[in-house]
Structures are given as structure tokens and as C-alpha cells.
Chains A and B, each alone.
Chain A
Amino acid sequence: MFSRLIYRNAKRNRKENLIYFATLVTAVASFYIILSLGRQDVILFLKEFESDAIDKLLAQMPIVYLFSLFLLFFLTLFANRYQLNRRSKEFGLYLMLGMRKERLILQLLAEGFITSILALIGGILIGGFLAEIISLTVSKLVGQGIIGHQISLSVGAIFFTIVGFLFIQFIALAILGGRLFNQEVHQLLYEQMDKKQDMGHLKGNVINILVGSILLGAAYWIVLYRFMDFAGLILFAALALGSLGTILFMRGFAKLLGLLANMSERKSTKGLHTFTLRQFQENIANRSTSVAVTSILIMLAIILLTDGASTIMGLENVYTRGPAIYDFTVNSDNQKAEQFLTSEKMVSYVEDLNFLEIGQMKYQDEHGEDDLPLSLVDWSKLREQLIMALPSNYREQILSGEMQYYDISSENPEALNLFGVLEIDATKPYLIPETSYNGLLEAIGETPLNLDSDEIALYFNPDFMPMDDVDIMPVLDRILEDALEERQSLMSINDQEVFIHPSIPMRGLVADRSVEITSAFIVPDQMFEQLLDTETYVSYWNFCIPQKLQEQQGLMKAMMEARDLLQSSGFEFESYLQNFGRKLFYVVAGSYTTLYLGFLFLIIACTVIALQFLTQMKQTGQRYVTLSVLGAKRKQMKQSVHRQVLLTFLLPMSLACVSGAVGIRAMISFVIIYFDDQVLLYPIALTFACLVLGIFVIYGVAVARSADHEIDKLRWKPNID
């Protein structure tokens, strides 16, 4: 009998209060999604190249999990409290009928347990489904058929979801049960909303609004103009000011609504306008703090989602090939590697095979006065020319010796960057033999260099040398051209005059990062052998995946196959995949958690708003009965309720939008967020705006429908004397 009651009540709870149950299911699903991250296709894929970084990312997940546990605890507490409030009359009745309080609480826990189990089943199913969808969507976005799909079901995730959820659910019920235990039966039977209608004094409200706005303004100002002061610590001040401002603003706002109601009354207003305003006002006034909290949550959600979305926009960058043209670089003894790369099983994956030699220049045999080695390079004439080509302010700084170090940056004039690089590198420059670089030039379809024996070319690594167009250096070329006309050499090496070749196309020397140099001299092969400091010598085999194979299989797939072959051969190598994986990792790591938390905040805020509204609705149900006796039609009342729902959602959302916009603006101007892809900007912004609005609409409609249901349920209950 007892157990039947429990079962029946649990069932009724779920049916009567879909929002309550949906909240629990959402909590479960959120746990599962964050816990099953390690099983996402893209993560499994990245693990192959960036396992350290991925491990680090996954190691952060328990923190995110605990954080969401913490947040969702409040959500379940709130949902359960709402549910118990709804039923307080019923509990009072049980107690009146002689049920002992211990037993009532035991019954509550048992009911809670049944509901939790069902929420777990539903939540894990939904969470699993969502995780699967996310996994598929992401691998589709990353795409190109490179990521194999695996079912993302994770037993560990299920386990921790169950443990975590039951834990918070139990604590929430225990707290609420304890409170119930201490309540008088009378309180339970006649629990009602605070009867007091503290609509406040106008003066106090105006002050609230004023102070609130000022605090908000101060917070906005800090965020917009003082973002980075005190190592970002001032942001906390901004957050505190903003939160306090939001709370005060909401408090004052509720009361200003009363003024609005007063004003509208003097006009000829029809329908339930005044009533609607007063209901809204009461809802806000009685809970201004939690309205403010939801507003802050929504603001955080908007900022987090924008941040996540901007990171996703970086996805396009993941596919744009940098200056590296080679797909693979094998780093090994040249004979064996060459044999392997030209062997039967590899040959179909290899095109533009090129042997890259690189090494630094020797020093002079004699040492200088202070026993420092002396450079073979004398580039003083070129140096002079470069200084001449500088804008005057820089020129003066350099000539006066004020400039101590050189920033290489895309904002600098070209001459300054060149000057800086050479100033650092030219003493003991890297050397690349002409043939090695010619192989590269051929691979990109350029004509080989064909240097004279006293001619060199300057190489600048486009990865480190920011240039608008990697193939042209107008300032350098002009200097070289002028020198050529005057038959003047700008540099000498080992006391021999050399001429500098006009600028050449520059590309990455290897597939990823095995050679990290800023500049080099490309020299005739003979000169390379003469000048090389043999201790610094390294060599690599570079190759590309053949164009035809790329067209047949797609680049990624062909690369994966080649990679598997190379891996089995035991050669040390690197590939463009690593480069790709690293960039992809930044996108994934940067967006996953922020988006997750963003949606979590949003859902929590919406649930709180929804439950609060329905609580008020339930507690003030009698008012609608009165209205109907005064002649209000159901349609009229529903209309009023729908307006209330709209206003209740709009108010915290509007303020959140303003604050969020300020936050985003600041983050853009301090380049924490940036939108580097104008093409994707609008579709992605639109998608996210729609998602956020969609969530609001779903909640709004759900609340409106529950409220409609309450109104349909209204019956006139005659008071029996």
C-alpha cells in the first residue's frame, strides 16, 4: 500500500510537472555530455597527434564536471523545492491523517529516488543521443572523411553521471526534507505567497535604479576601457559592480513598474493590462535577486557562446594551408630514407621528393680582440641602405642607439623587419644549398634560381616573417635593383663580394616544425660546402602527396595512409597532419568547454525563470478565479498570462543582452575574441542567435502551456461554511 502510494505519487509528479522532470533530465544529460567528451570522434582523432594536449584537456574535465555538479545542484534544489511547494497541502493532509513526519520524509526520498532513476534513464538516453549528434556534427564539420565514427557510448561516463546526479538529488531532497520536518502542519496546509505587498516608496526605488545604473555604468566603463588593469584583477571588481548593479536595478525596476501601472490606469486601458503589469511587478519585486542572478547567468551565457562561436570560426583557418608546401618531412640518414621513399609501397604516395640540407655558416678562423668569434659576413652596405629606407623616426632611434631589440611584426615597415632579422641572424647565418631550394621552387611550379657563383639569395621564413605577400619584398627589391644599376655589391662573405638575388618566392622548408629558422642565405652548392659549419648540418627528405592521389582519396585520407606506412618503417618524421591537428585542437579545446558552459548557464537561467513563474502562477491561482467571476474570459486570462511569460523572460534577457554586448565589445577590442572569418561570421552568429532564441522560445512556450493548463483547471470552489 505504502509502496503503491510512492509509485503513484512519483508518477503523478512527472506527469503534473513536466518542467520539473525535464529539469532533472536536463541535469543528467549535461553530466553525461561533459563526461563522455573523451569518446567524441574528434577527440579520439586528435589523440593520435596531440595526445599530451588532449590529455591535458581531458584532465580539466573533472573540474568542469564538478563545476556543473555544483551549478546543477542548485537547479535540482530549486526544482525540488518548487515541486514540494506545489504539494505542501498534500503533505499537510498526510500529517493531519496521522502519518509520522519521518515516514513522510522517507516517502519523499523514495519518490525522489524513483523519479531520479527515470530521469537518469531519460537523461542518459538524451545525453547519449546528443553526444552522438555532437560527435557526428563536429566530425562532419572537421570533415573530409578523415575522422572515423565510433559510438560515443561510455560506461565510465554513465557511471559518474549516475553517481553525481543521485548525489546532488539526494542532498537536495535531504535539505528540503529537513526543512519540511521543521514545519508546522498549519504552514503546510496554508502555505501561500508572502501576502505583504511591499511596493515600496517611489523615492527608494528611484535611488535603487539610479545606483544600479551607475554601478552598471561603472562596470561597463571598467570592462570597456580598463580591461587589463591590475593584471585583469579589476575584472572581478567589474563583475562585482555589475552584479550588484543588476540586482539594484531589478529591485528598482519592479517598483517602477508599479508607477507605470498607476499611469496607465488614468488612460482608458482595456483588458487585463493593469493586472498583467501588477502580476509582472509582483513576480519581479518578490524575487528581484534571483531575477538579477538569471540575468547575470544569461549574460555569461551570451559571452561564453560568442567566445565559443568565434573559436569555431577559426575552423576555417585549420584548413587553410600555411606557407608549408610539403606534406611530410622525414628526418633521417639520407640513403636509407631515400631507398624507403622510392620503394614500391611508398612510391604512389610520394611526389616532389626533395632533399633539404641546412646548416650554419662557419666563423672566421681568427678570433677577435675580446676572443669573440668573428663573422664571415660583412653586410654593412646593405645595412646602411636598409636604414636609409626606414621611416625617419625609426631611423633616428637606430642611429642614436636607442633601439635595443627588434620586434618582428606585421605592423612594422618591411625595412624594419628586414633590418631586425638580419641584425640578429647575419653574424652566423643559416645556409641552404641552391639545389635544395630549387627542389622546393619546382614543387610549386616556379623557375629554379640558377645563381652565379658570387650570388646568393635571401630566404625569410614566412611563418615568422609576417608579410602581406610572401613572394614580394618591394623595399628590398628596390635596394637591390639600385645596387645592381650601380654595379655595387652590398655584402661580402669571407672577403669576397657577393651579389644578392632579387626576392624569391618563400615557402616553409618542412611539413611542420622540424626547421624553425627565421632567415637563411641560399647559396650556390659549392659555396655551401665551403662555408658550412659541419657540426650544425642537418638534412631532411621532404615530399608531397601526389595531386592525383589527393583528387582520388582526399588529402587527409592519403596522408593518413602514408603516415601509417612511415610509422611502421620506424623513421622519424613529421607531417602536415600534426600542423592540422594542432590547429584543430585549439579550436576544439577553445570551443567545447565554453560552449558547454554557455548552454548550461542558459538552461539553468531559463529553468529558474520558468519554475519561478509557475510557482507564482500556482500560488496566485485564486486571482484568476476571481477574475473569471468578474467576467474575464479564459482567452483574456490566457492572453494576460502569455504577456506575463513574455515579460518575465524578456526583462532579464534584455539587460543580459546589453551587458553581454558590452562584454563582447570589450573582448573584441582586447582581442580575446576575434572574428577572423568574415564569411562565416554571419551564418555562425545567426545560428547561435537562433539557438539561444530557440531555447528561450521552447521554455517560454512550455511555461505558457503549463500556465494555460492551470487556467483550464480553475474551478470555482465554493467556500463551505
Chain B
Amino acid sequence: MVRQGKLLEVQDLQKNYGKKNNITKALNGVSFDVLPGEFLGIMGPSGSGKTTLLNCIATIIKPTSGRVLLNGENISAFDSKDLAEYRGSRIGYLFQDFELLDNLTGQENILLPLSIHGIDFAKAHTKLDDLAFFLEITDILNKFPSQMSGGQKQRVAAARSLISNPDIVLADEPTGALDTRSARTLMNKLEGINRSRGRTILMVSHDPNAASFCSRILFIQDGVIFHELRRKHDESQEKFYERILHLLAQLGGGSVNVL
């Protein structure tokens, strides 16, 4: 394997909520790296700090301490103006509840990051058509979100997160609001995007099924990362899924500290 530079470095990230006498330590010193082309999953039970972690990376919230480096640049120290440059162009997002603007058509939603950043999207149309074809949303580009199914919405959202060729796509429980079938379709597409186009994805989920599409999984609890699983080179998704389930059973049954 060729040694690549780190795309994302998370260093000792801490995030506290609340005031002095009532502090929630949502993140309690989280560190990890993401390599280019990786499909990294982060798993953990509800309230373990997944969303907080992702939002810190996404620059949506400011960490209490620690650093987030994207291509070596400390984006957690940026001021809001520089952050706006990053959002939507260098970082793409996928949310549990899609966050599509319901008064814009699918196509308008997808192109939104480009227009926000003032990118001439006359050239982007080939890219749009390509993405739409791959995500199977060509037919619904001119529909409004209210006329789409959940799965379609999330695929439109996926297209939106990819349109500006971001360095990394952050996804927070992207299958959380979808039924099993749509969730599977979506994960297949994300995997495809990761594999065939080399797009780096960082996904947070508590769903082992979704997580089994990843190439590596970090486990988080109470704001700390305590375990890591890697998918073997030729391991099938089903096999990986079995392993995750197995691990979760162990975690649920025994003490966390054992691992």
C-alpha cells in the first residue's frame, strides 16, 4: 500500500456543553486521522457524541479545545468568513433529515452550493447530469422535495454534497430517516462513489447495517473513541456486518473497558 498524506486530522478534540456547574462533556479528547479515499464510519450509541464530533469537523460548532486539520490547515481556528469558503465547497454534508430547501427543485438544490460560492455552473451541467445518472435521480431533478420519496431526497442531498468536488463528505446518520430498502440503495451509492470516484467519506451512524459499507469503523462512547474495526481487503459487506454485530454483542454484554 502506498503511504498517502492524511486528509483530515482530528487532534484531542473536546467539547463541553452547558455552564460551570452543569457541564456535559460531549467530546472528551477525540483523536483520529482520515486518509484520502477512505470511507470511515463512526459508531456509537445515542448521546455518545457522534453528532457533536461531526459538527465540530464540519465547523458548524466550535470545539472547546483541540484541533481539526484539513489538508494540514487548522480549520477549527478559522473565523466565520474563511469557514464559509470551506463549507459546501471543500466539505460536503449529508444530514439525517436531508435539509433540502423545500421551495427549490431538486436541481436547484443540487446547484445551490455552486451558486452560493459564485461558481459559474454553466460547466457544471455535465457534472450534474453525471451525478444524477449515477444516483438515479435524473427524472426527479425538476420536482420539489415534497414530491419525492425519502430515499430520493437523500440521493438529491447526496448529489448536492458532491457537486462541488469536496475533499471530504461528512454524513450524519444519512439512513436514519429511511426505510431499509432506501437505506440500502443509498449506502450502495455512497460506497460506489467512494470506490469508483475515490471520494473520501466520513459517516456517523448507530446502524450496523449502514456502517458495514465502510472500510473502517471507529467506536465512540461518552465522548471517547475506544475501538476500531477495519474491513479486510476482500471482506464482503455481509461478512463485515457479521463482525460488527458480533462486536456490538460483546460490547453490550461485557464491560466496555475490556475492549
Interface residues of A (CB under 8 A from B): 195-197, 199, 261-262, 265, 267-275, 278-279, 281-282, 620, 622-623, 626-634, 636, 716, 718-721
Contacts and interface: CB of A to CB of B under 8 A. Distances in A.
A274 B60 contact: no
Interface of B: 46-47, 51-52, 55, 58, 60-61, 80-81, 84-89, 93, 96-97, 99-105, 107-108, 111-113, 115-122, 142, 144-147, 160, 173, 176, 206
A197 B115 CA distance: 22
A170 to B, nearest CB: 37
B103 A265 contact: no
Contacts of B142: 262
Given A282-B103, A631-B86, A273 B144 contact: no
Given A265-B111, A721-B51, A630 B61 contact: no
Nearest to A637: B116
Nearest to B104: A278
A265 B107 contact: yes
Instruction: Provide the main secondary structure of the chain B interface.
Output: loop
A265 B55 contact: no
B84 A271 contact: no
B60 A629 contact: yes
Contacts of B88: 629-632
26 contacts: A195-B102, A195-B146, A197-B147, A261-B108, A265-B108, A269-B115, A271-B118, A272-B116, A274-B104, A274-B111, A274-B115, A275-B101, A275-B108, A275-B115, A281-B103, A620-B103, A629-B87, A629-B88, A630-B88, A631-B113, A632-B84, A634-B80, A716-B60, A718-B52, A718-B55, A719-B96
Nearest to B101: A623
A630 B96 CA distance: 15
A196 to B, nearest CB: 6
Contact of B116 (A265, A279, A630, A718): A630
B81 A271 contact: no
Contact of B108 (A278, A620, A634, A718): A278
A279 B115 contact: no
Given A270-B115, A631-B84, A632-B116, 10 more contacts: A197-B102, A267-B122, A269-B115, A274-B111, A274-B112, A281-B103, A718-B55, A718-B61, A719-B97, A720-B51
A720 B84 CA distance: 24
Nearest to A270: B118
A273 B88 CA distance: 17
Contacts of A199: 144
Contacts of A267: 122
Nearest to B87: A631
Contacts of B144: 197, 199
A278 B103 contact: yes
Given A279-B103, A626-B101, A632-B116, A268 B121 contact: yes
Given A278-B108, A721-B47, A631 B55 contact: no
B111 A630 contact: no
A721 B46 contact: yes
A631 B103 contact: no
B153 to A, nearest CB: 13
A275 B55 CA distance: 25
Nearest to B97: A719
Contact of B112 (A275, A716, A719): A275
A265 B113 CA distance: 13
A377 B151 CA distance: 107
B166 to A, nearest CB: 10
A618 to B, nearest CB: 15
A274 B118 CA distance: 12
Contacts of A196: 146
B120 A268 contact: yes
B85 A631 contact: yes
Given A278-B104, A718-B61, A636 B99 contact: no
Contacts of A629: 58, 60, 87-88, 93, 99
Contacts of B60: 629, 716, 718
Contacts of B116: 271-272, 627, 630-632, 636
Contacts of B97: 719
B81 to A, nearest CB: 7
A634 B83 CA distance: 12
Contacts of B80: 633-634
Contacts of B99: 622, 626, 629
Nearest to A625: B99
Query: What are the 5 closest A-B residue pairs judged by CB atoms, nearest first?
Result: A631-B88, A631-B87, A630-B88, A197-B144, A270-B118
A623 B97 CA distance: 13
Contacts of A620: 103
A201 to B, nearest CB: 13
Contacts of A623: 101, 103
A633 B84 contact: yes
A462 B147 CA distance: 78
A60 to B, nearest CB: 48
A268 B114 CA distance: 10
B170 to A, nearest CB: 10
A273 B118 CA distance: 11
A627 B117 CA distance: 11
A718 B142 CA distance: 30
B115 A273 contact: yes
Given A197-B103, A275-B112, A633-B84, A719 B117 contact: no
Contacts of A719: 51, 96-97
A275 B101 CA distance: 9
